[in-house]
Amino acid sequence: MCFVDTPGLGSVFESNSAATHAFLPHIDAAVAVIGADPPIAGDELELVETISKQVQDILFVLNKADRVTEEQRAAAIFFARQVLENRLQHPVPFIFEISALEQIKKGGSQRDWDRLVASLEQLVERSGQQLVWKASARSLHRLSGQLLAVIKRNVMLSVGPLKILRSESAKRERLCRKRCNL
């Protein structure tokens, strides 16, 4: 399993959002990391919806759980779950509460860190071969689409001059017949 941390969305640098969207065809599963304040932004919600149409496995993580109170975390999770379930039209069974900072500083088991790691391990065990197969199928579909586009372009490039040659030839033939009174 390979993790790729995309630059995210909503940056003042449009290339960051473009890089994230460009990478979407290559994903097999997703870990959607949201903050506690605000829990989920409109562009993040739109991205999750796009991803959900492509992949079956999306894990939701509320990061920076150490920066808000228990009540604020609960409210953030309630709000995020409600918004996600409404948009995705299916239940979001769990949103992991973690603090990457706590994990780095203290190590060990804080909040839902171990549960997140266990879920990722289960994903690999349960879906590993299936993920590889789906990734291969998506790549084949994407490459065949690109190949088809190249073929269509080459046909148009070859047919265009041929049409011009036929048209010029027909003009010359008409001119010749006219001059020769045929």
Q: What is the pLDDT of residues 52-103, one digit of tens each?
A: 988 888 999 998 888 889 999 999 999 999 999 999 999 999 999 998 888 8
Alpha carbons 148 and 33: distance in angstroms, whole number: 36
Q: What is the dihedral of CA 131, 135, 138, 140, to 10 degrees?
A: -130
Contact 37, 68 (CB under 8 A): yes
pLDDT-flagged residues of the chain (< 50): none
Return all residues near 111 (Cβ < 8 A) that are at least 6 apart: 65, 96, 97, 98, 99, 102
